[in-house]
């Protein structure tokens, strides 16, 4: 009876271990592949996000070129206004930014101490981009700030002709941190080029040495054909020959590859432990074997149920699920890999949210840059657009506008005077009152602004506020002589915010007025110039402290 019980137990354990070994091998390969792909995806995301940002800046240059007077150089205009420095910040991937025309003249912002090699790489990328293609340069290590980086350059194309280049030095510090996070414990991660040169490594000492790994089989396979590959190969580590299980994930452009590897004996350590446990169980008496079988059946079913429950939660979109198991067998390994999978999915979702947030910030900053450039044409209106946007948002808040309406209101308020870019500076800067002819020219700026932004389909919802903020509630405004509910809500709000800022800042034709006087004056315009409902929301915003006049704007905007 003992043999009848023990032999089937031994045979079943033998086949079970083989099956589990194959399953564990598959899981280890999937884990290494996911880790390599996650790093490769982050590299692609960083480069794509910053390339998009550079393309947006290039688009802003074209908008300026069309909007500025014909004899005005947009590259020189950007250099004089120093508007690109706002893109270089502590939380930005851009370490340096240059906006140059075909002759290499324009604006640039860069850190101190860039070495000669990096400066040459910037010039090489600019020359290549002038041929009309987006260029990603070679890997660079900026010793002065201890950061890895790469140069990205995009052409500025107008009517089929390349008129300049926007290029940035993109930091790869997030990639370096990700590689070191993945390469913990028995796992090693590194980034190589097609020549086998190590660009970044999870071990800081190797990262500094930047060795040549072209002799590794997996790197050689990547050099032959940049495709995703997982295989077993031998490697010499600290003088010892070790069999490794590794995977490589190509990035595409540039032609880099991410390699994540792990010693095979560590990957299958749980299998060896299972062999030893099997020998021990075979020597146990029949009674103990039965008890142990019952115990292990319970121990296996419980974590499987936990895993099944957590998997169900993941399917519902709850990516923060984790499995806390203290077992050290294949179920424990499965739980660890499940946790890694959950973390990878959660990280990917967070990455998408962050990318969406960064794109929104990029759009808002581009709008603010354009608004600041317009305000800078007149020393008396510097900061005017930002303040009008802030006052408009306060009024919109008290009107309980929805989130999208508030977002459109903010952008419309920032750009409400963009049409002034097409008005002669002599009229904008005139210290005295405008003549009738000059005022007729000035009255064209809402229509000009709407025409400038009308070519961008994504901005169609913000044009009403730009075009009609000089209409009057009782009629008689411009450009279309609308009245009452015909006037879009955006324009009704911006009209009050615009008037309020004009009355509370010094202008060539008047001194800044006191807040209480201005509020009463605005209230007196309810039903004639302004919508009474919006005036009421404005008064509430002032009483609540949502609208506050900063003293430093009284002297000059």
pLDDT in tens, the chain (557 residues): 445 555 665 566 555 656 666 777 788 888 899 999 999 999 999 999 999 999 999 999 999 988 988 888 899 998 888 888 888 887 888 999 999 999 999 999 988 888 899 999 999 999 999 999 999 999 999 888 888 999 999 999 998 999 999 999 999 999 999 999 999 888 999 999 999 999 999 988 887 778 888 889 999 999 998 899 988 888 877 678 888 899 999 998 889 999 999 988 887 776 666 666 766 766 775 566 567 656 666 666 666 777 677 677 776 667 666 666 666 666 666 667 777 777 777 777 777 667 655 655 666 666 666 666 666 656 556 688 889 999 999 999 999 999 999 999 998 998 888 888 888 878 877 777 788 888 888 888 898 888 888 777 778 888 899 889 999 999 999 999 999 999 999 999 999 999 999 898 877 667 888 899 999 999 999 999 999 999 999 999 999 989 988 754 544 43
Domains defined for the chain, CATH in brackets: 46-169 (3.30.450.20), 175-267 (3.30.450.20), 271-351 (no CATH), 377-555 (1.10.3210.10)
Query: What whole-number distance in Å separates Cα of residue 436 and Cα of residue 446?
Result: 17
At residue 146, the pLDDT reads 87
**Which pair of tokens denotes residue 495?**
């009209």
At residue 556, the pLDDT reads 41
Are the beta carbons of 417 and 449 closer than 8 angstroms?
A: yes
- pTM across the whole model: 0.48
At residue 380, the pLDDT reads 55
At residue 354, the pLDDT reads 74
At residue 98, the pLDDT reads 94
Closest CA to 262 of 213, 193, 322, 190: 190
**Which pair of tokens denotes residue 236?**
């010499």
Query: What whole-number distance in Å separates Cα of residue 442 and Cα of residue 377?
Result: 14
Query: What whole-number distance in Å separates Cα of residue 255 and Cα of residue 226?
Result: 8
Are the beta carbons of 322 and 339 closer than 8 angstroms?
A: yes
User: Taking the mean position of all CA atoms in its chain, how far away is CA 8?
Assistant: 59
Tell me phi and psi for residue 94, to 5 degrees. Answer: -80, 115
* DSSP letter, residue 431: S
Pairing of strands 229-237, 198-201: unpaired
Tell me the DSSP string of 403-451. HHHHHHHHHHHHTTTGGGGGS-HHHHT-SSPPPHHHHHHHTTHHHHHHH
Tell me phi and psi for residue 352, to 5 degrees. Answer: -65, -40
**Which pair of tokens denotes residue 436?**
């009738």
Are the beta carbons of 242 and 199 closer than 8 angstroms?
A: no
Q: Which residues pair with 267 in a beta bridge?
A: none
User: Edge to edge, what strands does the sheet with 161-171 contain?
Assistant: 106-109, 94-101, 161-171, 147-158, 135-142
**254 prior amide bond cis, ω within 30:** yes
């390469």: which residue's tokens?
Answer: 183
Q: Could you give the C-alpha distances from 44 to 181, 230, 244, 252, 436, in angstroms and in order?
A: 18, 21, 27, 8, 57
Are the beta carbons of 293 and 21 closer than 8 angstroms?
A: no
Neighbours of 218 (CB within 10 A): 22
Q: What are the residue ranges of helices labelled H in 171-319?
A: 173-182, 204-209, 217-224, 264-267, 269-282, 286-315
Query: What whole-number distance in Å separates Cα of residue 271 and Cα of residue 292?
Result: 19
At residue 395, the pLDDT reads 94
The angle formed by the CA atoms of residues 163, 167 and 169, to the nearest 5 degrees, is 170
At residue 378, the pLDDT reads 60
At residue 342, the pLDDT reads 72
């Amino acid at each position: 009876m003992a043999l009848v019980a023990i032999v089937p137990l031994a045979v079943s354990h033998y086949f079970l271990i083989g099956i589990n070994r194959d399953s564990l091998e598959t899981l280890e390969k999937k884990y290494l592949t996911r880790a390599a792909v996650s790093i490769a995806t982050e590299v692609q995301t960083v480069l794509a996000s910053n390339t998009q940002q550079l393309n947006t800046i290039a688009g802003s240059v074209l908008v300026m070129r069309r909007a500025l007077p014909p004899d005005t150089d947009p590259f020189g205009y950007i250099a004089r206004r120093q508007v690109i420095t706002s893109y270089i910040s502590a939380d930005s991937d851009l370490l340096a930014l240059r906006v140059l025309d075909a002759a290499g003249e324009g604006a640039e912002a860069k850190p101190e101490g860039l070495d000669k090699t990096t400066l040459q790489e910037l010039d090489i990328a600019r020359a290549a981009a002038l041929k009309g293609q987006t260029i990603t340069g070679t890997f660079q290590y900026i010793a002065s700030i201890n950061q890895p980086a790469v140069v990205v350059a995009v052409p500025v194309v107008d009517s089929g002709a390349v008129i300049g280049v926007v290029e940035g030095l993109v930091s790869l510090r997030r990639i370096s941190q990700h590689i070191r996070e993945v390469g913990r414990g028995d796992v090693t991660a590194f980034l190589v080029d097609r020549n086998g040169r190590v660009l970044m490594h999870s071990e800081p000492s190797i990262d500094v040495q930047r060795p040549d790994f072209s002799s590794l089989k997996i790197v050689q396979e990547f050099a032959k054909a940049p495709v995703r590959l997982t295989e077993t190969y031998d490697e010499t580590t600290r003088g010892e020959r070790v069999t490794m299980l590794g995977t490589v994930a190509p990035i595409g452009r540039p032609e880099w590859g991410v390699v994540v590897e792990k010693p095979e004996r560590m990957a299958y350590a749980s299998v060896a432990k299972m062999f030893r446990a099997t020998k021990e169980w075979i020597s146990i008496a029949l009674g103990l074997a039965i008890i142990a079988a019952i115990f292990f059946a319970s121990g296996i079913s419980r974590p499987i149920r936990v895993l099944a429950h957590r998997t169900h939660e993941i399917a519902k979109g709850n990516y923060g699920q984790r499995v806390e198991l203290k077992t050290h067998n294949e179920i424990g390994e499965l739980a660890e890999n499940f946790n890694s999978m959950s973390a990878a999915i959660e990280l990917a979702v967070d990455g998408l949210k962050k990318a969406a947030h960064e794109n929104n910030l990029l759009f808002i900053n581009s709008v603010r840059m354009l608004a600041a450039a317009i305000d800078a044409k007149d020393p008396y209106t510097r900061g005017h657009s930002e303040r009008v946007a802030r006052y408009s948002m306060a009024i919109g808040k008290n009107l309980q506008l929805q989130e999208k309406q508030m977002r459109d209101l903010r952008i419309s308020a920032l750009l409400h005077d963009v049409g002034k870019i097409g008005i002669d500076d002599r009229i904008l800067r005139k210290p005295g009152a405008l003549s009738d002819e000059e005022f007729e020219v000035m009255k064209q700026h809402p229509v000009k602004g709407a025409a400038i932004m009308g070519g961008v389909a994504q901005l169609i919802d913000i044009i009403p506020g730009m075009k009609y903020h000089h209409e009057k509630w009782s009629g008689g405004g411009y450009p279309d002589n609308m009245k009452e509910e015909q006037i879009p809500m955006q324009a009704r709000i911006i009209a009050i915010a615009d008037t309020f800022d004009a009355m509370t800042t010094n202008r060539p034709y008047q001194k800044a007025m006191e807040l209480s006087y201005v509020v009463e004056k605005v209230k007196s315009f309810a039903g004639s110039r302004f919508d009474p409902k919006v005036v009421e929301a404005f008064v509430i915003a002032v009483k609540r402290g949502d609208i506050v006049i900063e003293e430093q704007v009284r002297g000059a905007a």
